[in-house]
Structure 1
Amino acid sequence: MQRTNLSLRGLEIFQMVARSGSVRQVAAETGLSVSTVSHHLRAVEESIGVSLIDHSRRPMVLTPAGTIFARHVEEGLSIIRRGETELTAGDLAEMRELRCGIVDDFDAEVAPELAQFLARAMPRCTFKHHTRPSHEIIRLLTERKLDVGLATRPVSDIPGLVEYPVLRDPFVIALPAGSDTAPEDFLAGRGKLPFLRYSSQQLIGNTIEAHLRRSRISLPNRFELESNQSLLGMVADGSGWAITTPASYVRAKRFQDQIALHPYPGKGFVRYISLFSNEHYPRPTAELIAGSLRRLIKRYFVNPISDRYRWLSPGFQVLDTPPEAAP
């Protein structure tokens, strides 16, 4: 059989187009021109002498031969990436690239010091930092566009990701300071203030709504907000009440004196914040990042709020065991 002249870059481009179905999207993600991406695709097809992609359709789709080839490319590139990471796993100074995502809850207090720490530990590394909602970080990890990401733990396990638990963040009731209505009355719909919801597009919003459904609690849907600052700002202003978490409360520093936190009545519920990596990323590096995150989150989130609200301990705490085993 005649040997082909396949290039690694060409195979990577083919893999990305196979996933997205768009040459323009791959060009935007890689910084290459559309013509360069198309050239790489054509070169792969010409090298093996088989049509892999139906270029006439939008979005592009794989031919039957392309579907088979894409599976083998996925396996081959995975083996190559595993070899690359194993060569540098024991030496942080040799790390060349880190693509890191952090959920926006921790972007202001934690991310800057984490970046400084990693820059010292990995002097030859190029860093790419992304701030996104949790569901987007999980998506970028599964698409292999991130190496590690700090995000809310999804309801179900995601194949191909390794989890390093960081924070147990229980849900609480946030009321305007000085409110004389009990949290139980708001949950029962007897309060005069409207319920302020997190967006249903966010993991935190979905978690809250799922718990309310399980508890058979139905509340009017008048306000739904993506911005944590806007939501807690309305609570501080006396315009509503909310179900939130201590970590989310910490972010709203300017409103903290106008908001009172209360334990969630009845059966409580929790979200878990974890560092996730793809399965081929070196474990020692991921554990180093997770350890640094735990120290920073304890310093800037857990300790200050636990001192203010003693009843939050030990529920609001950093973790070093899987969530299933955590108290």
Structure 2
Amino acid sequence: MHHRDFDLGSLEVFVAVAELGSMTRAAGRLGLTQSAVSHVVRQLETAFSTQLLDRSIRPMALTAAGQRLWHWSNRILTDARQLPAAIGGADAPFMPELRIGCIDTLAAPFIPRLLQRLRDNVPSFSIASGLCGQLREQFLARRLDVLFTNDSFDDMDQVDSQRLLIEPFVLLLPRSCPEIADEAALRALSRTLPLIRSTTDSALGRLVDQHLRRLGMEVPRSFAFDATDTVMAMVAEEMGWSLLPPTALVKSRQHLSHMRVMPLPTSGFRRSIHVVTRRGELGSLPAGIHKAGRAVIQQGYFTDVFANSPWLKPLIGR
């Protein structure tokens, strides 16, 4: 038997017959002739190769197979009636699988805490973490539904971007390094100790290079890494200094006790992280995702970083 041997209409006819106990009354409810209803029932019996109604008694009754078909038909028809709202409605929060992309500096422990808040509405998740540019390509190719990224997508129509947080870049120094109180001290540092960089193919690396150029600082290239955990490990081992946002410090917080975290003595160097979705495709789900993400950030996400650097708390905003 193939699924094409029956359709929703024939199941609806059968349910009416089962509930009313009469083909004549079912025909009246559905606006059909009695012969049309009888034909549909016989087609179903042929399709399932079994008798569905016991016609030898009055009123006729469902056989065991008929009981099973009535049960499953009700479930199928109920789901079918929900399809228009679930798929094309303006408010369709349910998704069978949600494909989320998240920049590497935010992914842990943010994503596990986020999924705890979303799993009641979404039964299945697929997660990709990586560089901002790679995630953008996957989103544009429709391999991802939601992005947590420092790319606002303000160059594109039909994309909604909600800001999750704004965070400043901070200065990471070896424990033995003296305090950097002003821009002159930062310039002196750059001449005596290597800068541990993020690679230039990452948005993080490009942001740092752009800021240094604005300051007129040409810092020699010695070390560049695509993982911020390695950047922080290098600073912890007193191999150099670095500039990173606090979310990167959360991910690699095990290194915090082995370095100094200080305000950057040049103002205005910040980045924003956004929740990006396609406009109008996920109903109310993007608002729920943004709300859940904000709750994760506000409820203890930066606890270890603030304990190490309490001056940071008022500098991280929405």
Residue 177 to residue 89, structure 1, CA distance change in 2 (3 Å) = farther
In the other structure, the counterpart of 1:179 is 177
SS of match in other structure, 1:166: strand
- Residue of structure 1 aligned with 2:132, choices 131, 134, 141: 134
| 8 A Cα contact 1:144 1:278, kept in partner | no
In the other structure, the counterpart of 1:87 is 88
Q: Deviations over 1:31-55 (max 9, x none)?
A: xxxxxxxxxxxxxxxxxxxxxxxxx
Q: Distance in 2 between matches of 1:117 and 1:301?
A: 14
Report how far residue 84 of structure 1 moved.
Answer: 8.0
Counterpart check, 1:193 vs 2:180 = no
In the other structure, the counterpart of 1:306 is 306
Residue 277 to residue 127, structure 1, CA distance change in 2 (3 Å) = same
Residue 257 to residue 229, structure 1, CA distance change in 2 (3 Å) = same
In the other structure, the counterpart of 1:272 is 272
Residue 291 to residue 212, structure 1, CA distance change in 2 (3 Å) = same
| 8 A Cα contact 1:233 1:255, kept in partner | yes
| 8 A Cα contact 1:134 1:152, kept in partner | yes
In the other structure, the counterpart of 1:97 is 97
- Residue of structure 1 aligned with 2:148, choices 147, 150, 155: 150
Stretches of structure 2 that go unaligned for 5 or more consecutive residues are 1-83
* Bigger Cα displacement from structure 2, 306-315 vs 244-253: 306-315
Residue 227 to residue 120, structure 1, CA distance change in 2 (3 Å) = same
- 1:59-78 equivalences under 5 Å are none
In the other structure, the counterpart of 2:238 is 238
Corresponding letter in the other structure for 1:295: A
In the other structure, the counterpart of 1:216 is 216
Report how far residue 232 of structure 1 moved.
Answer: 0.7
Q: Distance in 1 between matches of 2:211 and 2:160?
A: 26
Quick one: percent identity of the two aligned structures?
24
TM-score by length of 1: 0.65
Residue 158 to residue 85, structure 1, CA distance change in 2 (3 Å) = farther
Q: Deviations over 1:71-117 (max 9, x none)?
A: xxxxxxxxxxxx8876354243x433322112222322121232232
Corresponding letter in the other structure for 2:91: G
Report how far residue 153 of structure 1 moved.
Answer: 2.6
Report how far residue 130 of structure 1 moved.
Answer: 1.5
TM-score by length of 2: 0.67
Q: CA RMSD in A?
A: 2.3
Q: Distance in 2 between matches of 1:158 and 1:91?
A: 24
Could you say which structure has the larger radius of gyration?
Answer: 2
In the other structure, the counterpart of 2:116 is 116
Number of equivalent positions: 233
Residue 245 to residue 278, structure 1, CA distance change in 2 (3 Å) = same
Corresponding letter in the other structure for 2:272: Y
